[in-house]
Amino acid sequence: MKFFIDTANLDQIKQARDLGVLDGVTTNPSLMAKEGISGQDNILEHYLKICELVDGDVSAEVISTDFEGMVKEGELLAQIHKNIVVKVPMIQEGVKAISHFTRQGIPTNCTLVFSPGQAILAAKAGAKYLSPFIGRVDDITWDGMDLIEKIVGIYMNYGFNTQILAASVRNSLHIVKCAELGVDVVTCPLSAITGLAKHPLTDIGLAKFLADHKKSNG
């Protein structure tokens, strides 16, 4: 199971990298805006900084919604670094663009996926990654994990090469549930990754070990 961090914040990317468990990074236009990164040159430069921090795939999202625009943007993004994956929204023009990039050997991450039908289409178009959004499905009181389970089943039926990259992960339990389903990649906030380490019995046990050591060693 690969761990990606879902942020454009360089400090958080470094913290996750320094844990030694980070396999890649995903970003989106909202996350770039949150870091105050704007203007094409600054955006491209920021992606390069991320690629230089992490030895793994870095998803960079197009903002065009038409085929020609997506292709132009995607080709520019792909030139930044060998690890850039072009992130494309699941709309008809996006499917066309993913098919095009697949033929060109440019890896893609199909984003904003909310249904098994969309997952089938992205795999047929040859996306390297598929990003179904767990948290946003939960937000509307549907079941995000149920969506993931359905997609895992479908992809297994046909042996699709597209990797399921569970996105909109909001907590550590989402990560564990994805692992139970055999999801290829999770992209999450730093807090969801570090949250995996937490257990009250670990804290209690450590406190006792240290207290016992102090008793006998002074």
Angle between helices 40-53 and 67-78 (to 10 degrees): 50
Closer residue to ligand G3P (CB): 150 or 170:
170
User: Helix and strand tally (H, E) in the chain?
Assistant: 11, 8
Least distance between ligand G3P and beta carbon 66 (Å): 21
Closer residue to ligand G3P (CB): 4 or 155:
4
Catalytic site includes residue 214:
no
Least distance between ligand G3P and beta carbon 186 (Å): 10
Active-site residue, from 87, 96, 150, 208: 87
At residue 199, φ and ψ (nearest 5 deg) are -155, 130
Q: Where are the beta strands (DSSP E) in the chain?
A: 2-6, 24-26, 57-61, 84-89, 108-113, 129-132, 163-166, 185-188
Closer residue to ligand G3P (CB): 88 or 167:
167
Q: Write out the residues near ligand G3P by the rule CB under 6 A.
A: 6, 26, 28, 133, 135-136, 167-168, 170, 187
Q: How many CB atoms lie within 10 A of CB 194?
A: 14
Closer residue to ligand G3P (CB): 52 or 139:
139
Give the span between the Cα atoms of 5 and 199, in whole angstroms. 22
At residue 22, φ and ψ (nearest 5 deg) are -95, 130
Q: Whose structure tokens read 């249904």? A: 115
Least distance between ligand G3P and beta carbon 55 (Å): 21
Residues labelled as active-site residues:
87
